[in-house]
Chains A and B, each alone.
Chain A
Amino acid sequence: MSGEVLLLALVVGAANWGFRTLPIRFGLGAGGGGGVLARFLAAVGPAAIATLFVASSLPFVQAGAVLAPVAGTGAVVAVWLWRRSVVLATLGGALAYAAGFALAG
């Protein structure tokens, strides 16, 4: 690895570490309360997860395949409703997607 690539990694890695740890260290978000910042932070989690789900799903939608994504998504919802387990729902969704992919292929 060249010195420039290593320097780039160190700069970006240091920024990532700061982004992830320093707001906690400085006590941002700690405690209760119902102010504007508290409500904003309470909504960040659901907003982030919804956004990341959409962002990670968009390539599948844009690819135009139907059977595998529908099978995978349906399996995640079904397994979640059945067992209330994130682990099982995730694995079930991936298995169903793979099965749908194989059948469609």
Chain B
Amino acid sequence: MDDRQGETFGAGLVAAVPIALGYFPIAFAFGVAAVGAGLSPLGATALSVIIYAGASQFLALALITSGAALPVAALTLIAMNLRHVLYGPALMKAAGEGVGKRHAWAWGWGLTDEVFGAALGELARGRRFAEAWMFGLGLPAYAAWVGGTLAGALAGDGALAGWPVVEAGFSFLLPALFLALLLSILTRPQVPVIVVAGLACVGGTLAVSSTTGILGGMVAGALAGLLRRGA
């Protein structure tokens, strides 16, 4: 690992703060919904520990309660997370040559949408890649996701009903995080990529589904990147 292991792990923890703050309330909502769908608090938490993918966990609840066949449910949920295949290679491309990946089997598990975005933003601002830093970035996010799920499952239905303003603020954390990340990596050559990705996402979401919109936006934006010169 890196010589500055402690420092880079700590830097990862700091960079993970907005992710953890964003994850906790969403995971809390998932815990509430899971208990409402008939799972025990332990079962709800187990889903977050084992799957660790927000949107597909909510969809899993819908599939479970609708009585979908196991193979159908599994394939649907797997397809939903297919986009994650691109994150590791894109991150390693940004990290440069010769970086460590010995422990990628562990820190790679934490490579969610938000952790990937935060890692890329930090690298774009000149931070050197280190596996310890990736552990620091991923662990609080995972802990917040699992902890939030357990808290929500234990709190049960209507836990935030009396706090609508707090609930509203929580609901905006993820869009705010993504916008901040977008600003952090924004450069003039990437504007066409961003515009194409955004338009494709809107089109795919309105025409088919949010999953199609997300996957279509990423692929269309990345293909637009092929047209750039000197990228």
Contact = CB atoms under 8 A, between A and B. Distances in A.
Contact of A56 (B81, B93, B178): B178
Contact of A41 (B93, B111, B171): B93
B179 A76 contact: yes
Interface residues of A, number: 73
Interface string A27-64: 11111101010111111111111111111111010000
B90 A9 contact: no
Interface in B55-105: 56, 60, 64, 70, 73-74, 77-78, 81-97, 99, 101, 104-105
* Chain A binding surface SS class: helix
Given A12-B78, A46-B221, A24 B101 contact: yes
B165 interface: yes
A11 B74 contact: yes
B37 to A, nearest CB: 10
Contact of B73 (A6, A8, A89, A98): A8
The size class of the interface chain B forms with chain A is 35 or more
Contacts of A90: 18, 21-22, 173, 176-177, 180
Interface of A: 1, 4-13, 15-17, 19-25, 27-32, 34, 36, 38-58, 60, 68-69, 72-73, 76-77, 80, 84, 86-87, 89-95, 97-98, 101-102, 105
Given A16-B109, A39-B228, A45-B185, 20 more contacts: A5-B47, A12-B56, A13-B51, A46-B194, A47-B219, A49-B120, A49-B178, A49-B185, A50-B217, A53-B178, A54-B197, A54-B202, A55-B217, A56-B174, A68-B172, A86-B18, A90-B177, A93-B172, A94-B169, A98-B168
Interface of B: 14-15, 17-18, 21-22, 39-40, 42-43, 46-47, 50-53, 56, 60, 64, 70, 73-74, 77-78, 81-97, 99, 101, 104-105, 108-111, 113-114, 116-118, 120-121, 164-166, 168-186, 190, 193-198, 200-202, 205, 210, 213-214, 217-226, 228, 230-231
